[in-house]
Amino acid sequence: MLTAFARAFKTPDLRKKLLFTLGIIVIYRIGTHVPIPGVDYTAVQFCIDQAQTNSGLFGLVNMFSGGALLQITIFALGIMPYITASIILQLLTVVIPRLEALKKEGQAGTAKITQYTRYLTVALAVLQGTGLVATARSGSLFSGCAQAGLIVPDQSIFTTMVMVVTMTAGTAVVMWLGELITDRGIGNGMSILMFISIAATFPSALWAIKEQGDLAGGWIEFAIVIAVGLVMVALVVFVEQAQRRIPVQYAKRMIGRRSYGGTSTYIPLKVNQAGIIPVIFASSLLYIPALIVQFSNSTAGWASWINSNLVPTDAPAHITIYFFLIIFFAFFYVAISFNPEEVADNMKKYGGFIPGIRAGRPTAEYLSYVLNRITWPGSLYLGLIALVPTMALAPLGANQNFPFGGTSILIIVGVGLETVKQIESQLQQRNYEGFLR
C-alpha cells in the first residue's frame, strides 16, 4: 500500500492530479471557517462551546457541510443543495419525458441535465439560506444557549439579503470546486468534498465521546467506539462490494465472412443497489414534522406528540418509523433507477440472453425477481447501519457523537473505495501494479 502511494507521487501527471485535488480541499476547508457578514462570531462560538446545538434538525446538513452550518460561514450550506438538486433531477427524469429523452441522448443530454442541476442548486441554496438565516435570527439554531438570540444583531432586510446572497455564492463556489476536481483531479469532485466534510467532524466527535465518558476517564468508551467503528467499516466494505452477477450470453452472428458476438458477460446487481439515498430520504422526511412544529409554535396535542415521539432520535416511535422508511425508500429508489424491461429489451436487440431464460418478457420478470430478492437484505442492512448509534451505543452515552453510523460511514467507505479504484486503475496503466495485490 505504501509503495503504491509512493509510485503514485513519482508519476508526474498523477502527482499533479493528486496535488491539485489536495489544494482544492485546502481551499474548501478554509472557506468553512470564514464567517459571513452580519453574524456575531463570538456568540456563535459561545453556543458551540456550550454544546447546545439542535442536532435533531440540523445535524444531517451540518455533517455534509463539515461543521460549517452551525458556525454560519460562507460555505454553511456545503454540498447539500447540490445533492438535493441531483436527487430531484434524477427522480424527475422518470416522470418528465423531456428529461428522459435528454438522458438517452448521451453526452449532450447529460450536459444539459447537469446545467439544469446547477440552476436548481442555486434556487435551493437561496431557499435553504433564507431558512438558515431565519432560524438563526429566531434563536432556534442553538437550543438552550443564552446568546442564541444575539447571533444576528442587525435584523434588517438588507443584512438578511447580504447573508443569503453570501451563502448562495458560497454554494456556487463549492459546486465549482467539485467540478474542478472532477475535471482536473482524482475521483468525483462532489463525492470528494462530501468525504472531506464528514471526515472533518470525526476528531471532534471522538474527543467529545472521550470527554463525556465515565470509565477510566472516558478512554474505555473511546476504545469501544473505535472497535465498533472498525467492525462497521469492515461490514460496510463487505456489503458494498457484494453483488449478484447474472450471466449473459450473446449469440454469434455471421456478417459476410466475419463472425460477431458469441461472447459471455454478466449484469452486476449490487446488494445495496440504492446506495445512501434511502437513508437521506428517510432522515429528511422525519425532519418535516419537527420543522412544522418549530415554525408553527403550536402547543396542541399533535405538536406535543411529535416533540416527544419523533424529535428524540432514541424514541421507539422514531426508531420504528425511521427503519421502515429506509426499507420503503430502498425499494422505491431501486424501482425507479433500474428498469428490468429496458434492460431486457436492450439485450434482445443485441442478441443477448440469460442462459435458461427466454428473451423478452421472461427476462424482465426474472431480473425483477432477482432484484427484489437482493433488495431485501440490502434494505435491512441500511436500516441496521443507520440505527447502530441509537441502539448499540446509547448505554455508553455516545449515540449523539458517534461518527461511524448511518450516512457518514456509508459515504466515507463508498467514496474511499471509488477513489482508490480510480488511483489504482491509473497506476495499472503505467506500472501494471495497483494498491490491491
pLDDT at 122: 92
Non-local CB neighbours of 410 within 8 Å, separated by 6+ positions = 236, 240, 275, 276, 279, 382, 385
Mean pLDDT over all residues of the chain?
Answer: 80
Query: Using an 8 Å Cβ cutoff, are 248 and 350 in contact?
Result: no
Where are the extended beta strands (E) located within 2-97? none
Question: Which residues touch 292 (CB under 8 Å, ≥6 apart)?
Answer: 306
- Greater model confidence, 373 or 212: 373
Q: What would the pLDDT profile of 266-293 be if each residue is shown by its tens digit?
A: 888 888 888 888 887 887 788 778 777 7
pTM score: 0.79
Confidence of residue 437 (pLDDT cuts 50, 70, 90): low
Give the C-alpha separation, 341 to 362, whole Å: 10
User: Residue 326 phi/psi, 5° resolution?
Assistant: -60, -45
Percent of the chain with pLDDT over 70: 81
With beta carbons less than 8 A apart as the criterion, state whether 208 and 401 touch: yes
| Domains of the chain from N-terminus onward | 17-200 (1.10.3370.10), 213-437 (1.10.3370.10)
| 278 and 330 Cβ atoms separated by less than 8 Å | yes
- Look up cell 452580519; give the residue: 38
Q: 16-27: buried (b, 16+ CB within 10 Å) or exposed (e) per residue? A: ebbebbeebbee
What is the rounded average pLDDT of the residues 379-383?
88
pLDDT in tens, 217-254: 677 777 887 887 788 888 888 888 888 888 888 876 66
pLDDT of residue 392: 57
The grid cell for 49 is 462551546
Question: Minimum mean pLDDT among 5-14, 26-35, 152-161: which range?
Answer: 5-14
Q: Rounded CA gap, 171 and 6, in Å?
A: 35
> Residue 293 and residue 305: Cα distance in Å, rounded?
10
Q: DSSP code of 244?
A: E
pLDDT tens column, 123-148: 999 998 888 888 888 777 776 676 66
- The pLDDT, as a whole number, for residue 172 is 93
pLDDT digits (tens, 9 = 90+) for 190-214: 888 888 888 887 777 777 777 776 6
| Per-state percent for the chain, helix, strand, coil, to nearest 5 | 70, 5, 25
Query: How is residue 15 written as a grid cell?
Result: 502527482
At residue 128, the pLDDT reads: 86
Other CB atoms within 10 Å distance of the CB of residue 9: 11
Instruction: Say what the alpha-carbon torsion angle 221, 32, 291, 335 is, to the nearest 10 degrees.
Output: -80
Residue with cell 435570527: 137
Question: Percentage of residues in the chain with pLDDT exceeding 90?
Answer: 8
Instruction: Give tens-digit pLDDT for 84-117.
Output: 888 888 888 878 888 888 887 878 888 888 899 9
- pLDDT tens-digit series, residues 352-370: 888 888 888 888 899 899 9
User: What count of Cα atoms within 13 Å lies in the side-chain half-sphere of residue 186?
Assistant: 27
The predicted model gives 413-435 an average pLDDT of: 74
The pLDDT of residue 54? 45
